[in-house]
Chains A and B, each alone.
Chain A
């Protein structure tokens, strides 16, 4: 009976679910992963075909990392690690996890990313930077969370997504989050109507795309603007003009996250804030899991307004 009720309400939902959690204080940082996994679980009914998450910690001074995907394989990562180490001229440590691996190096993550792209055509670079690790896969969100060990992760903030595909194929590379630059990534609920045209313009500007996914175009758009020197706020202001369609975006940045809804704002979003955390989700029931939620300030983000949270002392 419980399952039937869930199925009926699930049919009423929009496609795709988003969660984001930013821990303002130290208090819950040891349980960032557990809390994010609980939120993601509540968004299962909004998208059962694939899921992904990006987790940020404070990083280690002088160390950068990239997350790499070998879709559908569990390769021997040692030859890649050794070749990357030789190419960078700096030590590289590999942390394999099924078809993903995180490479940590004292070298430059941008150079490491470019080397993988140029030399390992079977691999995709999911993220690069100093604080971000990013995992995604097709399958039930709960299975994706457990396979990539979300619940045991610690850190400062995370964004995650459950996908019900509408615009392109169900593949790992079509899953969210999408990287948009160093320590920056995006999740999207909605659909863009001008993504074909925008993709052509972005390709002309030097962006490359791995899928036919509309959300990847939004990510590519932000990548382009951030590379051109825009702040995240400036890039999103411009996105309001250039992106046509329905969207709620959550954007993970190195020291926090940003939220933006399109000017019509028919894709749902709710934000809650306490002294210890800021959380956003497509639906409140994801946030209802969080400690201290009864005392949270809860509101619906306004259309076409950029919301940004970041750690004190670190400019967003």
Chain B
């Protein structure tokens, strides 16, 4: 096991060592909210970060198993490809944004736009998610044990959204859907993988109404109104 103390080591030194590694366990102490900690991991290494991290922590993760004992700023696990990023605290904006694969677990709350434009990643949030979460989500699963903020799943493609609590409002083209056995199985699998305890039967599934896939002339008025033009 290798330990880095970011009170002493620079971000570049730490990340270069993580990029060079092909296996092993690493511990990072004193990140003190620094940006891009453990971003760009490209192998199946285990990394534990003790303390709060800044923007883009574990971004672009490919294969790594990253655990953060603390909170994170914007862009946690942004564009994750595979592996796991698990945070014990909360994350602010855009957690798991554009992720292609892997698993992101947030034990606390996630801020606005959690899972924006997600492309296959699974995201499990123990608390609440903020407004415009899963905006333009394309595939993967977003699981929220708490509540969801306004405009959930706006302009959604094929991501499944599971929420146990309340939803402040659904975004354009996002609707409540039936929970089929396959969805309950997916939920049970993701809850087990994330280590968060909840009954899959308590969740409601939301998905795309698929009304925005093709252009409709009737939408023109809505577009004009939204842009502040004459209606």
Interface residues of A (CB under 8 A from B): 1-2, 4-6, 8-9, 12-13, 42, 265-266, 268, 270, 283-288, 293, 298-300, 302-303
Taking a contact as CB atoms under 8 Å apart, the answer to whether B12 and A1 are in contact is: yes
Taking a contact as CB atoms under 8 Å apart, the answer to whether A284 and B54 are in contact is: yes
A270 and B92 contact, Cβ closer than 8 Å, known pairs A2-B12, A284-B54: yes
A300 and B92 contact, Cβ closer than 8 Å, known pairs A9-B55, A284-B52: yes
A300 and B130 contact, Cβ closer than 8 Å, known pairs A265-B112, A283-B55: yes
Taking a contact as CB atoms under 8 Å apart, the answer to whether B92 and A285 are in contact is: no
Taking a contact as CB atoms under 8 Å apart, the answer to whether A268 and B92 are in contact is: yes
Give 12 A-B pairs besides A6-B11, A288-B51 with Cβ atoms closer than 8 angstroms. A1-B13, A5-B11, A9-B35, A265-B112, A265-B131, A266-B93, A283-B55, A284-B71, A284-B73, A285-B73, A300-B112, A303-B131
| CB<8 Å pairs between A and B, sample of 10 | A1-B10, A2-B11, A9-B11, A12-B35, A13-B35, A268-B73, A270-B92, A283-B73, A285-B32, A286-B33
A302 and B131 contact, Cβ closer than 8 Å, known pairs A284-B33, A284-B52: yes
Report Cα–Cα, A265/B135, bound state, in Å: 14
Report Cα–Cα, A159/B10, bound state, in Å: 30
| Contact for A268 among B56, B93, B131, CB less than 8 A | B93
Chain B residues contacting A266 (CB-CB under 8 Å) are 93
Chain A residues contacting B33 (CB-CB under 8 Å) are 42, 283-288
Chain B residues contacting A9 (CB-CB under 8 Å) are 11, 34-36, 54-55
Chain B residues contacting A5 (CB-CB under 8 Å) are 10-12
Taking a contact as CB atoms under 8 Å apart, the answer to whether B130 and A302 are in contact is: yes
Chain A residues contacting B150 (CB-CB under 8 Å) are 303
Taking a contact as CB atoms under 8 Å apart, the answer to whether B12 and A4 are in contact is: yes
Taking a contact as CB atoms under 8 Å apart, the answer to whether B71 and A283 are in contact is: no
A298 (CB) vs chain B CBs: closest residue: B71
Chain A residues contacting B130 (CB-CB under 8 Å) are 300, 302
A12 and B131 contact, Cβ closer than 8 Å, known pairs A2-B10, A284-B71, A300-B93: no
Chain B residues contacting A2 (CB-CB under 8 Å) are 10-12
Chain A residues contacting B106 (CB-CB under 8 Å) are none
Interface residues of B (CB under 8 A from A): 10-13, 32-36, 51-52, 54-56, 71, 73-74, 89-90, 92-93, 109, 111-112, 130-131, 149-150
Chain A residues contacting B112 (CB-CB under 8 Å) are 265, 300, 303
Taking a contact as CB atoms under 8 Å apart, the answer to whether B74 and A299 are in contact is: no
Chain B residues contacting A265 (CB-CB under 8 Å) are 112, 131
Chain B residues contacting A42 (CB-CB under 8 Å) are 33
| Contact for B111 among A1, A12, A285, A300, CB less than 8 A | A300
Report Cα–Cα, A1/B36, bound state, in Å: 15
Chain A residues contacting B36 (CB-CB under 8 Å) are 8-9, 12
Chain B residues contacting A13 (CB-CB under 8 Å) are 35, 55
Report Cα–Cα, A265/B33, bound state, in Å: 21
Report Cα–Cα, A68/B222, bound state, in Å: 51
B15 (CB) vs chain A CBs: closest residue: A5
| Distance between A134 CB and nearest chain B CB, rounded to angstroms | 27
Report Cα–Cα, A12/B71, bound state, in Å: 20
Taking a contact as CB atoms under 8 Å apart, the answer to whether B90 and A283 are in contact is: no
Taking a contact as CB atoms under 8 Å apart, the answer to whether A299 and B12 are in contact is: no
Report Cα–Cα, A9/B54, bound state, in Å: 10
Report Cα–Cα, A300/B89, bound state, in Å: 13
Taking a contact as CB atoms under 8 Å apart, the answer to whether A302 and B149 are in contact is: yes
Report Cα–Cα, A284/B32, bound state, in Å: 9
Chain B residues contacting A270 (CB-CB under 8 Å) are 73, 92
| Contact for B32 among A12, A268, A288, CB less than 8 A | A288
A298 and B10 contact, Cβ closer than 8 Å, known pairs A284-B52, A284-B71: no
Chain B residues contacting A1 (CB-CB under 8 Å) are 10, 12-13
Report Cα–Cα, A82/B150, bound state, in Å: 58
Chain B residues contacting A286 (CB-CB under 8 Å) are 33
Chain A residues contacting B10 (CB-CB under 8 Å) are 1-2, 5
Report Cα–Cα, A299/B90, bound state, in Å: 8
Report Cα–Cα, A139/B52, bound state, in Å: 29
Report Cα–Cα, A42/B11, bound state, in Å: 15
| Distance between B73 CB and nearest chain A CB, rounded to angstroms | 5
| Distance between A115 CB and nearest chain B CB, rounded to angstroms | 44
Chain B residues contacting A284 (CB-CB under 8 Å) are 33, 52, 54, 71, 73, 92
A296 (CB) vs chain B CBs: closest residue: B71
Chain A residues contacting B73 (CB-CB under 8 Å) are 268, 270, 283-285
Taking a contact as CB atoms under 8 Å apart, the answer to whether B11 and A288 are in contact is: no
